[in-house]
Chain A
């Protein structure tokens, strides 16, 4: 089988790769690009640990072929922090509110929450819970994850107001 020549932008950096068409985006990210933040949990598109942002959509990168991602802008958990190296508000709030225990689901949770808050900057608790329903956490019972996302929304909104 001929290999595919794919070009992507990953965390702001242009990337080119030669990959078999059957390569899943998660394997390209983890094995070729060394971005091991997105995790392989269930590998059956249920758990959301592999969630990355692709052209403004949250996707499960275990269920996307590299060809589908050709030309896309990808953001992984490695690209969420601020450019000066300080933590993104979501990351700060997950720390502050203890939104993780083992940490396995966290990259997917934060990457998903990043897109959720872009689309809905002022979500209700129910909207947060519905918005992260494609991400499973087996430790926290979600309480602190929801608190962290709500707190991040409030902080981001306050920062935006202060800037205006």
Chain B
């Protein structure tokens, strides 16, 4: 399958890239790893006249710690996220999620920036970023602003990012040491999007949950953050898990598709969330 014709641009800096986007208007698309966009272009469901490839912008790569915050460049690949032992030590949720995205070849090319900016409800990192309370740095001709991941997603493929803006960095507060984490994803096969997936972060003290953050993936047209889902102050046992699942059920809105009827997805979401809470609770020290 051959995509439509386009002109290829490879800027060397963010300023050059935003200049191109401003000049070319909505006929231009940003190319990160390309593993969502290129398949759409091959199917001619996307036919941009210009591609602005960000791969040569060095400032968009890498993982750093700035004080209590972790900063990830948007062009950092899923493979690089998985390979980073520092990141895995600080926020193991990200490696756990990245390992469940697509397959090895796609993870060498796919980037965290593309994953969060595309606005695809099936993507895993948006929910993970909501769970971590990340914010996204957006740079456009008018400067740079930050938008919280929890405010970023408006509907499927519609986000707070303007067409002339580039999502350059992702920042989140390093989770408290000793926290428990889990990213559990039910999928039909390697490479599939989630039938249902849950991100859980929580802290414990003296057998009681002292704080939690939970987000769900592919159960609505946006990721869904459900706060602590009532877990704070509980013993994280079966009753607490049941309360969290009931709260989650009220917040999700799955649609029936090739992954099953909506009722089946609700069932899977309940199973996944219970298991994710139990796993995170067992990991919390």
Q: List chain A positions with a Cβ less than 8 A from chain B.
A: 1-2, 4, 20-22, 24, 43-46, 48, 51, 57-60, 63-65, 67-68, 70, 112, 116, 130-134
Listed by A's residue number, 29 A-B pairs whose Cβ atoms lie within 8 Å are A2-B7, A20-B5, A21-B7, A21-B8, A21-B51, A22-B3, A22-B4, A24-B2, A24-B38, A45-B106, A48-B105, A57-B105, A58-B104, A58-B105, A59-B108, A60-B105, A63-B34, A65-B8, A65-B38, A65-B51, A67-B53, A68-B31, A68-B53, A116-B104, A131-B104, A133-B190, A133-B191, A134-B190, A134-B191
Cα distance A21–B109 in the bound complex, in angstroms: 18
Known: A43-B1, A46-B191. A134 touches B105 (CB 8 A): yes
Q: Once the chains bind, are B103 and A48 in contact (CB under 8 Å)?
A: yes
Cα distance A103–B87 in the bound complex, in angstroms: 40
> Which residues of chain B have C-beta atoms less than 8 A from A70's C-beta?
10
> Which residues of chain A have C-beta atoms less than 8 A from B4's C-beta?
22
Closest 7 CB pairs between A and B? A134-B103, A21-B8, A57-B108, A133-B190, A67-B8, A134-B105, A1-B5
CB distance from B96 to the nearest CB of A (A): 14
CB closest residue in chain A, given B79: A57
Q: Once the chains bind, are A67 and B108 in contact (CB under 8 Å)?
A: no
> Which residues of chain B have C-beta atoms less than 8 A from A63's C-beta?
34-35, 38-39, 109
Q: Once the chains bind, are A22 and B104 in contact (CB under 8 Å)?
A: no
CB closest residue in chain B, given A108: B105
Query: Does chain A have a CB within 8 A of B42?
Result: yes
> Which residues of chain A have C-beta atoms less than 8 A from B157's C-beta?
none
Cα distance A58–B53 in the bound complex, in angstroms: 20
Point out the residue from A2, A65, A133 that lies within 8 Å of B103, measured CB to CB. A133
CB closest residue in chain A, given B55: A68
CB closest residue in chain B, given A43: B1
CB distance from B36 to the nearest CB of A (A): 10
> Which residues of chain B have C-beta atoms less than 8 A from A134's C-beta?
102-106, 190-191
Extra contacts, 20 of them, besides A21-B7, A57-B109, A65-B38 (Cβ < 8 A), are: A20-B5, A22-B41, A24-B38, A44-B42, A45-B39, A45-B106, A46-B191, A48-B105, A51-B105, A58-B108, A65-B8, A65-B31, A65-B34, A67-B8, A68-B34, A116-B104, A133-B103, A134-B104, A134-B190, A134-B191
> Which residues of chain B have C-beta atoms less than 8 A from A22's C-beta?
2-6, 41
CB closest residue in chain A, given B189: A133
Cα distance A137–B109 in the bound complex, in angstroms: 22
CB closest residue in chain A, given B83: A119
Q: Once the chains bind, are A133 and B39 in contact (CB under 8 Å)?
A: no
Cα distance A63–B8 in the bound complex, in angstroms: 15
CB distance from A116 to the nearest CB of B (A): 8
Cα distance A44–B39 in the bound complex, in angstroms: 6
Cα distance A46–B5 in the bound complex, in angstroms: 23
Q: Once the chains bind, are A1 and B1 in contact (CB under 8 Å)?
A: no
Cα distance A59–B191 in the bound complex, in angstroms: 14
Known: A67-B10, A131-B104. A59 touches B5 (CB 8 A): no
Q: Once the chains bind, are B191 and A1 in contact (CB under 8 Å)?
A: no
CB distance from B263 to the nearest CB of A (A): 28
> Which residues of chain B have C-beta atoms less than 8 A from A43's C-beta?
1, 42
